[in-house]
Amino acid sequence: MRTKQKSVTIKDVAQRAGVAQSTVSLVINNKHTGERTKRKVLKAIRELDYHPTRLARGLATQKTGNIGFIVSDTHFSRAEPFYTRVFLGTEFEARQYNYYVLLTTVEEEFDPQESIPRFLVEKNVDGVILAGKVNDSLIFHIEKGDLPMVLIDYLPKNSKIASVLIDNVHGAYEAVCHLIALGHKRIGFIGGSIDHPSINDRLEGYKQAMKEFNLSINKKWIVKDEPYTSVDDGYRATKKLLKSTPLPTAIFATNDTMAIGGVKALKEAGFNVPKDISVIGFDDIEETPHTDPPLTTMRVFKEEMGILAVKKIMDMIDTGNTLKDKTLVPVELVIRSSCRQNKYATN
């Protein structure tokens, strides 16, 4: 029977070289040691065919080699895959720094006395990325711990925390301008709670475009009292919108999942999209090219947001400086089949 070979450890290298384990870690991490000592350690590593573990590297750097990624459980689902793509961006970029990304979700009603993510309790991360809206008490808890932190797609009012944000105002403005260019004058808005800064900004962009083109806004055309931004929320919001008089000829949805729910509600009510009412979304999630009809939307470069967040967090980890800058990521109009020239353009 073949005996399983024992893995070589940093302790074995230290014994072979006749030095302390901390000295081996210094050599592994290219820290200053005497040239003679360095040669002995490298010779021992070659002879033993030793492959350093992350723990061994951390002895000298005092780093875990991990970045925490936290997202609300309501935002991390198959139904709303936006933050899945953001997370993938962080994972791809972290590899460039030989770092791991540890993912966890937290409940919307976060309780710092009961729900602290384990990697924070165990101090097993060198920095934290928070994606989407999370309870502000969690942000405050991390700030108290003096950990590097970057926020993605959320920044509490009056906060000065490093963040990567979507250019929501301009993106919404461009979406509504596209509808106006198609001859639409009666344009509705459906969104979740405007307590989320992104939704509030998209509503602001909608209003800016309508105002610039001297278009009146019927208050009943703005539905912003749904709790979330899911397909079901979009469905309910559109049902409410259809009670308005006159009806809008186009709808701007605050995100794609709400737009998908809106299209469903319109079809159930006997409307053809886009022949009767055009619909435009925001985010360009993976499902939008395959909806019926394929959804016109504003593309958000989700992976890029994750990449930028990791660059910021690594800058803070490497320099020890605290960043407070805000980066706006531009968006791009993607034209598909859910919008068309308004047949009532003369109205």
Boundaries of CATH 3.40.50.2300 in the chain? 66-166+302-330, 168-300
- Report the alpha-carbon angle 136-99-155, nearest 5: 20
The predicted pLDDT at position 134 comes to 87
Q: How far apart are CA 265 and CA 191, in angstroms?
A: 15
Boundaries of CATH 1.10.260.40 in the chain? 10-61
The predicted pLDDT at position 1 comes to 43
Tell me yes or no: is domain 10-61 CATH 3.40.50.720: no
The predicted pLDDT at position 3 comes to 46
The predicted pLDDT at position 163 comes to 97
Of 192, 165, 153, which Cα lies nearest the Cα of 72? 153
Q: How far apart are CA 223 and CA 228, in angstroms?
A: 12
Query: What's the predicted TM-score (pTM) here?
Result: 0.80
CATH code: domain 66-166+302-330 is 3.40.50.2300
* Amino acid, res. 95: R
The predicted pLDDT at position 53 comes to 63
The predicted pLDDT at position 346 comes to 53
Q: Which helix (H) or strand (E) holds 230?
A: none
The predicted pLDDT at position 311 comes to 97
**Cα–Cα distance list, 223 to 213, 233, 254, 261, 313 (Å):** 21, 10, 10, 14, 37
Structurally, at CATH architecture level, domain 168-300 sits in: 3-Layer(aba) Sandwich (3.40)
The predicted pLDDT at position 344 comes to 66
If the chain, 347 residues long, is cut into consecutive pieces of 10 residues, what is the mean pLDDT of each piece? 62 88 77 82 86 60 86 72 92 93 87 82 92 89 90 90 97 98 97 86 97 94 91 96 95 96 98 97 95 97 97 93 93 97 70
